[in-house]
Structure 1
Amino acid sequence: MNRLLMTKKLALVLAIQSSLLSYSAIAAEDDETAKSNDSYMEQMQIIGRDQSLNKATGSATLIDELALEQFKFDDINRVLYSVPGVNIREEDGYGLRPNIGFRGATPERSKKINIMEDGVLIGPAPYSAASAYYFPMTSKMTSIEVFKGPAAIKYGPNTVAGSLNMVTRAVPQSSEGLVDVSVGSDGLAKAHAYYGDTIDNFGFLIEGVHMQADGFKELDGGGDTGFEKNDLMAKLRYDLDGETVNQVFELKLAYANETSDETYLGLSDDDFAANPNRRYVASQLDNMDWTHTQFQFNHYVTNDHFELTTRVYRNDFERAWYKVNGFKGGLVNRSLQEILADPDKDETNQRFYQILTGQQDSVAEYEKMTLGNNDRTYFTQGIQSDLNWNMDLLGYNNHFEVGARFHQDQIERDHTTDDYFMQNAQLVSDGVATKASTTDRESTDAISIYLQDTISINALDITAGVRGEFIDAEYQNRAPGAEQDYLKKETSIWLPSLSLFYALSDEAGLLFGVHEGFLPTSPKQDPSIETESSVNYELGGRYNDGNFNLELIGFFNDISNLKEGCQFSSCGSDDDTEFNGGEVDVIGLELTSGYDFTLTDNLDFPVSVSYTYTESEFKTSFESGFDMWGDIEAGDELPYLPENQISVNLGLVSNQWDVNMIVRYIGEMLEASGDGVVLSGSKTEALTVVDMSASYNFNEYGLVYVKADNVFDTQEIVSRRPYGARPSKPQQFQIGYQYRF
């Protein structure tokens, strides 16, 4: 990599950060009144909690702690279904490895959105390998934010879809703690506890979560299909109050791990109809094992005129997923997807299916089962600073936001394979030594800069911004004798945005926005693969009178080049090949509304609705080797994008108890856009799910809660990728107890 160039770029970032700190010192000298350090929390949680009309010039949604506590969801998918414009492809039923997209972006491994925790990129390697095989534990979050449209221009590198920011618990201002324990169906158990305090200027927080389940799938011949997860976090905070400037120093340390007996192997449609929770014996050895460590140091400076937040971070992630890849092949080759799509197609498929299900033993060499260990090591590290300040310029108020980030990330793959005979419904090693399959490294150094100014002219707020991404990426094949297989890439781009908000009154307003979308290619991709680029528009309005709220936004994503890639989760391949898809249009409508009916002095009936309508269309015809496209004709739709989604939340709330219900509908989805691939013409069925929760507060004796996910035990095929039909989570009951002190 050109280290001289990167040194110059790093110097640029440090110069910008030095300038921000210099501005802070100047502003501090001019200001005589200090802000409360409580505003520090608003820098971790980017959206404020004001209940008045939201005048943000862009689409931003906050799910606060009160909303998260209603259903006590541990699955991020179930949380985000209530946010308009979010499209999800479920996989394991527990949300262990989510597939999340915004406004039509491919949900595969959430690779097209920026995933952040406390304002910092948290994906394993968001530039080098964007697929999010690690995802923070939802149980420990106190708020979740979703940014779409021009609101996402401050957060990169991905600006096509948007950003998801998850906020962990703040260090409390006084002694505070919680113990939360629960048990449920299929061996589900959770233990969550935290304690924190602030003594004089020093504060601390310790928090831990443990979750486990036996799993709802039934492995042929018996065996585990569940998971066990742990997450530990500690925060230390020091408040330094000055006469003119307040400062906060915070250190966050975290450790998390997971062991899950998860698989990519699904079922044939006939077997799904007979028992959607069955798991074939061929997946009996499948297991994911990962650990994640996190370091983050925050420095926050504020007075009445400015806020400056600097974050230094490092995340390390190691994972090994041992799983069935398919048959060894050779003389006869059939993918698992081909076999399970039509097990009775011919004698070859029938034979492979019988081995897969343990009904027959492997005999020929090509009938051996190949299991792969996708062993990967990742890191991300960097420093970023964000400065906000207000000033009057030319007679108008200007709110400036500027930020810079220097970021490095890397993935090292050490994939191996082993071959097994199927004998008496058991996988038996063939005794041959483990073979290396993929041994490489991808790494990226990236500098990001953004500048945004919101000008207030009477009732009109005009926000103009620009984001710069300057990326140096390297790929190296690390296999012996492959040293010459090396690729270096550089990408530089400026991404503008413009948005308007016009306040019709104190309760209502109109908004418009346009911004440029961008998605980089990974370091190993051939330079002929273009970055994804688009121009994205939104137009809508908001109303909020304090009791009733309504937001209606139409969006149009004019994609000039759609980029997609093959991962195991989508194609059953570890080559991570990317493909260009040309021009695509995505158009949609997002609606959210809520009203709180007062039934009595002590009883409220809150109602809220979230609805999304989305259409998509390829604008050109082409032939593709990508499994989710195939041969595309102009007018074909994108896969895994439902036309209609709706979520209705109903509640009964008193001073001591509450009952809540969510009714969720997700329309059918294509599994492949064009012709000529295995899943051409296949669709997932529309799915309606009802979740309920209730709690009773015994005051100083704590709170008891019960919840039921999928009350009516409705299961449908949520995907046939990568190998066969996968079910939604069945009915699950849970009872728990919380004690706060």
Structure 2
Amino acid sequence: MFIQESSVLSSTTFRYSILACSMMFGLSAQAASDVTELKALTVNASVIGESKESDVKEYAGSRTVISAEQMTKTAAKSIDDALQQVPGVKVQDETGTGVLPNVSVRGLSASRSGQAQFLMDGVPLTLAPYGHTGQSVFPATLSSLERIDVVRGGAAVQYGPNNVGGVINLVTKSIPREWESKISNRITGFEHSSNMLNNLYLRTGGWVTDDFAIQIEANTQNGESARDHSDTDIQNFQIKTDWLISDTQELQAFVQRYDADTQMPGALSPQAYKEDRTQSQRTNDTYEADATRWHLKFLQDLDWGNAGQFEVLTFGHRDTRNFVWGYNGTSGVAWSDPRFASTDIRNSPREFNVFGVEPKLSVAFGSPESVTQNLIVGMRYVNEDIDYQLRQTSISTGAVTVPRDWQMDTDAVAAYVSDEVGLMNNRLKVTPGVRFESVHMNYQDKGNNEKRSNQINEALPGLTVAYSLTDDWVSYANAQKSLRAPQISSIRGDGNKDGELSWNYEVGARYTHGRNAFNVALYRIDYKDQLEWIAGEQTFENAGKTLHQGVELSGRYGPESLPDLSLGLAYTYLDATYEEGANKGNQLIDASKHQLSWDASYNFAGYQSTVSGYYYSDAFSDASNTTEEDANGSTGKIPSYTVWNLNVSKDLYEAGKTKLSIDVAVNNVFDKEYYFRGVDTSPVGRYPALGRTYSVTGNLTF
């Protein structure tokens, strides 16, 4: 029978008598009766399980699960903030509101988070998993999440493509067993501005009957961030249901509507940054987006004499987005130089229609005392229809031109198989697997009626090994080949483009005992065929090869003698370099060699207090590794920065199901001034990070 939980059921436990097992392996009933009567076999339908903290203990790779409680403790106001605590992850905060996170994993490009695969409850969140991996619509809000699972190695066979930087699974809040409602409201103010930002979250749901559950959520964010020209309006509505059709069948459903409308303050020239870092020189820049997303998951327990489960996931979405920005067409001037007025207004309306279906079979068999196997076999079909337009309007004349009017239709079929073999009483687990991707892309430039097609067939093998040295210590190693398909912007021109390929390697060890944990991982990413823009030919070429390698250390300590104390520390060393061309040996753009994060929590008489923070060393903003900053701020080193945060939580009232609590947070306690280089529609100049902010959150559950 299925357990009544709203979190995605990726594993089901079946219990068998030894008599049944003995019949499978030819043993006598008498021999069976001499040992324990019942044994358990567990079938895992996903290599990452349910993305719970308990799934990390024996996982054969580097991985971090951040709980909602930990996010609150570390004063996270957005998914951006939460990810800053994860080893190997770096975030460029473009908006100050978390609307458009730019996430880099192990030195890969942060732009629109296009080099890591985002999932929501195991379902692709990306606009188009193959043809447009950039998250220029990010239909997720922190308030709706129960935890975040950042898998940096070992999941490529099942979760592809575009997993060079790993898999980031955003797990939404589960449906409670008893009906429950929650109201949460956070108000944020800023040190150097009178602006205010309000975040309201509403949730109600539970099991209506023994067989049916429903949950409805609403999350809105309104107001302005710390800078001028930052008005924000975010609306996120979600409904999920869970229907236990029978003792062996379950149907889960999810529907979401997301709308975003925000002004983009943009980058500043170095001079303007020094004068007033809260101002905006890009007053024409705005962004709006909407997303309608859904998925259905059917699960069937199988009684084949082995533990088995059959699953069919069907998903789809229609997303639209439109950036509007100032453009300077003056010869000899960078088009986004914030020091000069715009001559034109550009906008990029785009529409994404995606449909996918993924059947999957998982079977566990064998004897827990000898050899066990967990076989996962699946395939997926995805269709993507992308309309990709660029429009330009002259400010002086009003004349409109359409420099780009592209369309791409993609049909992609993937098949994968992995087989976890447990040896030595399951202390040694070896999991070979392979994923095969067949991607057919049809591209059309409607402006000149140019049509191109592109076909990619790629086998992507993987191998993970985990060995339990003791009940607390696990050593692991993994190797996997990853693919990022050509994007719509790169197929134009000669049309035939190979995918970007990489080999990812990890070796490490993990200790877990009670509240204490430690992980060390050595990693290496051999990335070849990165696409580079050839300006003279106005096309992309498979010309780049990069190497990313380093070490990640993380630990958590909670002494038994002080149950109210918890300490966490993580360090990452990253060496990310170009391996080909004129910039061979140089550091990759925005790649900090050193990253440090920490947190310390203690409960003082009911006041849960946490000090946390992070440090990133300096980085370069161009492939030539230019040290000195130029006048418009497009090149030059990006200085290191250290940020401290403080959060205090207090339960004010609790009686029965009713609970009232409050959180008070100060982010960037010491008001550190730091910046990134420009991003996307404002790529030239300094992009200011948030200064000191103050937040108060009230939570009522009943």
Q: TM-score range by the shorter chain?
A: 0.7 to 0.9
Which residue is 1:79 aligned to? 82
* Structure 2: 5+ residue stretches without partners: 1-13, 15-19, 22-36, 190-194
Which residue is 1:100 aligned to? 103
Which residue is 2:33 aligned to? none
CA distance in 1, matches of 2:499, 2:355: 23
The correspondence for 1:463, drawn from 411, 423, 431, is: 431
Classify the secondary structure of the residue corresponding to 2:51: coil
Which residue is 1:508 aligned to? 473
Classify the secondary structure of the residue corresponding to 1:77: helix
- What's the CA shift for 1:553? 0.2
With the length of structure 1 as denominator, give the TM-score of the two structures. 0.81
Compared with structure 1, are the counterparts of its residues 445 and 487 closer, same or farther at alpha carbon in structure 2 (3 Å cutoff)?
Answer: same
Structure 1 residue 378 corresponds to structure 2 residue 339: no
Compared with structure 1, are the counterparts of its residues 181 and 104 closer, same or farther at alpha carbon in structure 2 (3 Å cutoff)?
Answer: same
The correspondence for 1:211, drawn from 214, 221, 232, is: 221
Alignment of 1:55-204 (within 5 A): 55-71=58-74, 73-135=76-138, 136-185=140-189, 186-200=195-209, 201-204=211-214
Which residue is 1:708 aligned to? 666
Residue deviations 1:612-636, cap 9 Å, x none? 110022223x2xxxxxxxxx33211
Compared with structure 1, are the counterparts of its residues 655 and 511 closer, same or farther at alpha carbon in structure 2 (3 Å cutoff)?
Answer: farther
Which residue is 1:250 aligned to? 252
Classify the secondary structure of the residue corresponding to 1:109: helix
Structure 1 residue 447 corresponds to structure 2 residue 422: no
Moved more, 682-691 or 65-74: 65-74
**Does structure 1 conserve the Cα–Cα contact (< 8 Å) formed by 2:120 and 2:172?**
yes
CA distance in 2, matches of 1:729, 1:579: 37
Which residue is 2:690 aligned to? 729
CA distance in 1, matches of 2:361, 2:532: 35
Classify the secondary structure of the residue corresponding to 1:562: strand
Which residue is 1:10 aligned to? none
- What's the CA shift for 1:527? 4.3
- What's the CA shift for 1:465? 1.0
CA distance in 1, matches of 2:101, 2:484: 19
Which residue is 1:387 aligned to? 361
- What's the CA shift for 1:557? 1.4
CA distance in 1, matches of 2:669, 2:593: 25
**Does structure 2 conserve the Cα–Cα contact (< 8 Å) formed by 1:260 and 1:288?**
yes
Which residue is 1:432 aligned to? 398
Compared with structure 1, are the counterparts of its residues 43 and 740 closer, same or farther at alpha carbon in structure 2 (3 Å cutoff)?
Answer: farther
Classify the secondary structure of the residue corresponding to 1:271: helix
- What's the CA shift for 1:43? 9.9
Which residue is 1:628 aligned to? none
Question: Residue 621 of structure 2 aligns to which amino acid in structure 1?
Answer: E
- What's the CA shift for 1:149? 2.0
- What's the CA shift for 1:315? 0.8
**Does structure 2 conserve the Cα–Cα contact (< 8 Å) formed by 1:662 and 1:690?**
yes
The correspondence for 1:693, drawn from 633, 647, 651, is: 647
Which residue is 1:487 aligned to? 452
CA distance in 1, matches of 2:272, 2:119: 39
Residue deviations 1:121-157, cap 9 Å, x none? 1111221122110112222111111112223331111
- RMSD (Å), alpha carbons: 3.0
Compared with structure 1, are the counterparts of its residues 565 and 467 closer, same or farther at alpha carbon in structure 2 (3 Å cutoff)?
Answer: farther
Alignment of 1:287-686 (within 5 A): 287-302=286-301, 305-325=307-327, 327-329=328-330, 332-336=331-335, 339=337, 353=339, 355-356=340-341, 369-392=343-366, 396-420=371-395, 430-458=396-424, 459-479=427-447, 482-483=448-449, 485-523=450-488, 524-525=491-492, 526-527=494-495, 529-564=497-532, 578-598=540-560, 604-620=564-580, 622=581, 632-653=582-603, 656-674=606-624, 682-686=636-640
Question: Residue 662 of structure 1 aligns to which amino acid in structure 2?
Answer: S
**Does structure 2 conserve the Cα–Cα contact (< 8 Å) formed by 1:314 and 1:380?**
yes
**Does structure 2 conserve the Cα–Cα contact (< 8 Å) formed by 1:690 and 1:712?**
yes
**Does structure 2 conserve the Cα–Cα contact (< 8 Å) formed by 1:441 and 1:478?**
yes
**Higher strand proportion (structure 1 or 2):** 2
Question: Residue 648 of structure 2 aligns to which amino acid in structure 1?
Answer: A
CA distance in 2, matches of 1:74, 1:41: 33
**Higher helix proportion (structure 1 or 2):** 1
Compared with structure 1, are the counterparts of its residues 588 and 675 closer, same or farther at alpha carbon in structure 2 (3 Å cutoff)?
Answer: closer
With the length of structure 2 as denominator, give the TM-score of the two structures. 0.85
**Does structure 1 conserve the Cα–Cα contact (< 8 Å) formed by 2:677 and 2:684?**
no
Compared with structure 1, are the counterparts of its residues 508 and 310 closer, same or farther at alpha carbon in structure 2 (3 Å cutoff)?
Answer: same
Percent sequence identity over matched residues? Answer: 20
- What's the CA shift for 1:184? 1.9
The correspondence for 1:719, drawn from 637, 661, 677, is: 677
- What's the CA shift for 1:443? 2.1
How many corresponding residue pairs?
641
CA distance in 1, matches of 2:320, 2:544: 35
**Does structure 1 conserve the Cα–Cα contact (< 8 Å) formed by 2:161 and 2:482?**
no
Residue deviations 1:365-388, cap 9 Å, x none? xxx621111111112111112333
**Does structure 2 conserve the Cα–Cα contact (< 8 Å) formed by 1:45 and 1:167?**
no
CA distance in 2, matches of 1:404, 1:410: 20
Compared with structure 1, are the counterparts of its residues 152 and 657 closer, same or farther at alpha carbon in structure 2 (3 Å cutoff)?
Answer: farther
Question: Residue 597 of structure 1 aligns to which amino acid in structure 2?
Answer: P
Which residue is 2:11 aligned to? none
CA distance in 2, matches of 1:413, 1:618: 30
- What's the CA shift for 1:65? 2.7
CA distance in 1, matches of 2:501, 2:596: 29
